[in-house]
């Protein structure tokens, strides 16, 4: 289903129907809220900032087109996440808002024009009046608001959800960059806002210390800054190398400055550190020049920044411009594109996947790229390494884009150590069996030939087995699986359902207690009954994913029939070990093999991979053991309306439907007794053609298969 959901996600916002938009909005809102919690409360983001911005951007886009979907709970109307437990809550006198993001110079030109138009409407500024902007690097840290009364620090709070944050006063007092008492003349009441951060060098040192002590290692400087400040024990915060840049105010009584730039000067006078890169630009061109200049030097700055913030300099104009929902109209963040960095390739490791495929991975000297410490990058396959010609010891350029997995772009020729030998793909699996590596027919993929005997494959298959699209067992992450496997608690999927015999052993494990063990058992027990298609998918048979598993379930109906048929097909193939590329010839090999080849989406190539899996006695044993432990539900036969024009017909959907998602349409067709397939052949009865349909519509026309427009489909299906 994930594949189909993704199709929906790719529909442009402008093309979404009301129904699609509602479903998509709910999904995105939940997703964004989850990432907010991970980021703000747990300091453990799972996705890159760029990926987060993309999610959030799409959510805003949908709300702009369907305003009725915007609720007070929507993550677009809040900032961050509510305070975590453990700290007292502080309500900000003035909310701490967040900035709109821009990615191109054109976006900034548009911003300046909007500002100018707004001011022209509300004030008497002349046409073409230059708008002076203060340009400040956007520090990737943790935003804070610090309250001073009569020049004395009285309270400090994190941003939290924008209106309410956490009281971190005691912790903040330990920072050398934050004056406890303001120097010179200061407002009676003043909120100073700024960013707590950690320099890259200090961050790397801290992580080394943490690793040496066996403590948590932070993903990036931002998380280490947040994690260090939000310690319940201020003594720990004091031991961490935190720094602070001040850049804004909240409440200020009286306000003694007329411009943002003047305010920055005041901050210095009071004893704060202000970012030395901050510049006053009199025109748009000057502002963009600052962006370009800092962009070039960005990797050499001692701290992470992810863009430049432009603020309208004049405070009276800021006040006129005001706010719109969660962001000020007078400021914008100009983000930097994907960051690149150079580092040393220490070596190339080989990872073993669940089907034994070997993936080379670059082992890098840790380096910060786009705010994240990178020490590994994918090298895809042997051909890619040959194309890049990277060799251990090389200095390589890496890039981290919207994806969280960084990429190796090239090596730097002038930095190559003399005599560095080219890398050779290992001929033996890195597992303890040291089984030979075989190259697949297509030449790209190389596999460990150890099959299920290979420890790496065992662990990866177990991980897949418990994953969301398979048995979906909550609370059993990849690391648990690896540890359980290593300690002999879990060797095959069936062991999972026998774990409860080892309750005592589990409870004594570090990090597990009475409650978590009970929760795990509950999660496992709730999956003891499982649908046949999920069951088949979970086995991790090569070439069988969700949709093929479903097709097999539909064809064979129940687990026993399916297994018996697979074994028979295997025996037939073994007795007729002749190469065949034709489905027609497959029937001659034997009835069971022929039947398998004719299942939707399976052909001779896939069928051969499947029977090879069953030729391994170990695999069959594992399945039998599992069937003894769980109750596999027979494939639910759809109640078919016999008068439906689609009953017993084979259908293909292509292109985008305006009235329903692909997933909904396919489910509807199946409920009407149709068999939905992915590709058009002579056996197809109907092809429903939506917008932007590609080759499938053409193939239908070529083969003379009946096509239906969306309207015809809606009418015939009674939707």
Binding site for Zn ion (CB under 5 A): 429, 431, 448, 450, 454
Of 246 and 541, the one with the shorter C-beta distance to Zn ion is 541
Of 340, 339, 140, 309, the C-alpha closest to 223 is: 140
Question: Minimum distance from CB of 433 to Zn ion (Å)?
Answer: 6
Of 367 and 429, the one with the shorter C-beta distance to Zn ion is 429
Question: Minimum distance from CB of 348 to Zn ion (Å)?
Answer: 17
Helix or strand or coil: residue 324?
Answer: strand
Question: Cα(263)–Cα(249) distance, rounded to whole angstroms?
Answer: 9
List, as one string, the DSSP characters of 448-484. ETTGGGSHHHHHHHHHHHHSTTTT--TT--HHHHHHH
Judge contact between 185 and 195, C-beta under 8 A: no
Q: Any bridge partners for residue 137, and if so which?
A: 308
Of 131 and 437, the one with the shorter C-beta distance to Zn ion is 437
Question: Minimum distance from CB of 360 to Zn ion (Å)?
Answer: 15
Question: Cα(566)–Cα(612) distance, rounded to whole angstroms?
Answer: 10
Backbone angles phi, psi at 521, to 5 degrees: -60, -40
Of 407 and 458, the one with the shorter C-beta distance to Zn ion is 458
Question: Cα(27)–Cα(59) distance, rounded to whole angstroms?
Answer: 9
Residue 258 annotated in active site: no
Question: Minimum distance from CB of 457 to Zn ion (Å)?
Answer: 6
Question: Minimum distance from CB of 619 to Zn ion (Å)?
Answer: 15
Question: Minimum distance from CB of 540 to Zn ion (Å)?
Answer: 15
Sign of CA dihedral 258, 262, 266, 267: positive
Of 34 and 434, the one with the shorter C-beta distance to Zn ion is 434
List, as one string, the DSSP characters of 112-146. HHHHHHHHHHHS-PPTT----EEEEEEE-SEEEEE
Question: Minimum distance from CB of 495 to Zn ion (Å)?
Answer: 20
- For 192, 381, 396, 526, the CA distances from 344, given in Å and listed in that order, are 41, 20, 6, 48
Tokens of 110: 């548009």
Judge contact between 594 and 587, C-beta under 8 A: yes
Fill in the DSSP letter of residue 38: I
Backbone angles phi, psi at 129, to 5 degrees: -60, 130
Of 408 and 448, the one with the shorter C-beta distance to Zn ion is 448
Cis peptide leading into residue 254 (ω within 30°): yes
Backbone angles phi, psi at 158, to 5 degrees: -75, 170
Of 431 and 658, the one with the shorter C-beta distance to Zn ion is 431
Of 349 and 431, the one with the shorter C-beta distance to Zn ion is 431
Segment (H or E) for 716: helix 710-717
Backbone angles phi, psi at 164, to 5 degrees: -140, 130
- Residue of 6, 22, 138, 699 marked catalytic: 138
Of 519, 474, 465, 518, the C-alpha closest to 492 is: 465
Question: Minimum distance from CB of 165 to Zn ion (Å)?
Answer: 50
* Residues assigned a catalytic role: 138
């Amino acid at each position: 289903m994930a594949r189909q959901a993704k199709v929906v996600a790719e529909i442009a916002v402008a093309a979404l129907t009301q129904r699609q938009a509602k479903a998509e909005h709910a999904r995105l809102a939940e997703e964004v809220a989850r990432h907010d919690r991970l980021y703000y409360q747990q300091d453990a983001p799972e996705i890159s900032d760029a990926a987060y911005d993309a999610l959030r951007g799409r959510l805003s886009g949908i709300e702009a087109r369907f305003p009725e979907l915007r609720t007070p709970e929507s993550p677009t109307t809040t900032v961050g996440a509510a305070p975590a437990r453990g700290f007292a809550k502080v309500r900000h006198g003035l909310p701490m808002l967040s900035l709109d993001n821009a990615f191109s110079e054109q976006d900034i030109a548009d911003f300046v024009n909007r500002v100018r138009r707004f001011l022209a409407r509300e004030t008497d500024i002349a046409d073409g009046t230059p708008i002076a902007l203060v340009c400040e690097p956007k520090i990737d840290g943790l935003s804070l608001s610090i309250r001073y009364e009569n020049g004395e620090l009285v309270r400090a709070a994190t941003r939290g959800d924008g209106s309410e944050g956490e009281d971190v006063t005691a912790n903040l007092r330990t920072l050398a960059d934050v004056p406890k008492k303001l120097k010179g003349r200061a407002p009676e009441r003043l909120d100073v806002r700024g960013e707590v951060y950690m320099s890259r060098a200090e961050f790397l040192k801290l992580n080394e210390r943490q690793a040496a002590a066996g403590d948590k290692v932070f993903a990036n400087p931002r998380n280490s800054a947040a994690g260090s400040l939000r310690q319940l024990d201020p003594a720990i915060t004091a031991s961490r190398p935190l720094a602070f840049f001040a850049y804004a105010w909240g409440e200020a009584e009286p306000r003694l400055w007329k411009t943002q730039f003047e305010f920055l000067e005041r901050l210095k006078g009071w004893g704060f550190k202000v970012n030395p890169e901050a510049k006053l630009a009199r025109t748009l061109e000057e502002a963009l020049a600052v962006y370009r200049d800092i962009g070039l030097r960005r990797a050499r700055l001692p701290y992470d920044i992810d863009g430049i913030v432009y603020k309208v300099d004049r405070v009276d104009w800021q006040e006129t411009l005001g706010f719109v929902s969660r962001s000020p109209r007078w400021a914008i963040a100009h983000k930097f594109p994907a960051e690149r960095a150079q580092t040393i390739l220490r070596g190339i490791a080989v990872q073993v996947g669940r089907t034994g495929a070997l993936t080379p991975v670059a082992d890098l000297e840790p380096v910060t790229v786009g705010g994240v410490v990178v020490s590994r990058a994918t090298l895809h396959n042997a051909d890619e390494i040959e194309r890049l010609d990277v060799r251990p010891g090389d200095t390589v350029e890496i890039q981290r884009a919207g994806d969280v997995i960084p990429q190796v772009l090239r090596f730097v020729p002038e930095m190559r150590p003399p005599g560095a030998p080219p890398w050779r793909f290992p001929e033996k699996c890195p597992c303890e069996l040291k089984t030979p590596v075989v190259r697949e027919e297509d030449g790209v993929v190389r596999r460990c030939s150890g099959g299920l005997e290979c420890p790496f494959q065992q662990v990866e298959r177990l991980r897949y087995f418990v994953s969301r699209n398979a048995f979906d067992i909550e609370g059993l992450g990849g690391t648990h699986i690896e540890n359980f496997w290593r300690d002999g608690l879990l060797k095959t999927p069936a062991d999972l359902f026998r774990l409860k015999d080892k309750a005592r052993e589990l409870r004594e494990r570090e990090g597990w207690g009475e409650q978590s063990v009970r929760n795990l058992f509950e999660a496992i027990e709730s999956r003891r009954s499982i649908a046949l298609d999920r069951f088949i998918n979970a086995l991790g048979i090569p070439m069988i994913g969700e949709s093929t598993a479903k097709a097999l379930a539909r064809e064979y109906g129940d687990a026993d029939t399916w297994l018996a048929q697979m074994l028979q097909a295997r025996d037939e193939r073994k007795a007729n070990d002749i190469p065949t590329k034709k489905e027609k010839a497959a029937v001659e090999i034997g009835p069971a093999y022929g039947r398998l080849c004719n299942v939707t989406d399976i052909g001779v190539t896939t069928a051969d991979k499947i029977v090879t899996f069953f030729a391994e006695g170990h695999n069959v044993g594992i399945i039998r053991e599992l069937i003894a432990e769980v109750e596999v539900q027979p494939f639910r036969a759809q109640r078919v309306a016999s008068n439906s024009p689609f009953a017993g017909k084979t259908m293909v959907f292509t292109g985008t439907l305006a009235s329903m998602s692909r997933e909904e349409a396919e489910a509807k067709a199946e409920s009407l007794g149709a068999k939905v397939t992915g590709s058009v052949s002579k056996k197809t009865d109907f092809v429903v053609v939506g917008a932007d349909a590609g080759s499938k519509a053409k193939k239908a026309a070529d083969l003379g298969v009946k096509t239906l427009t969306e309207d015809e489909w809606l009418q015939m299906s009674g939707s």
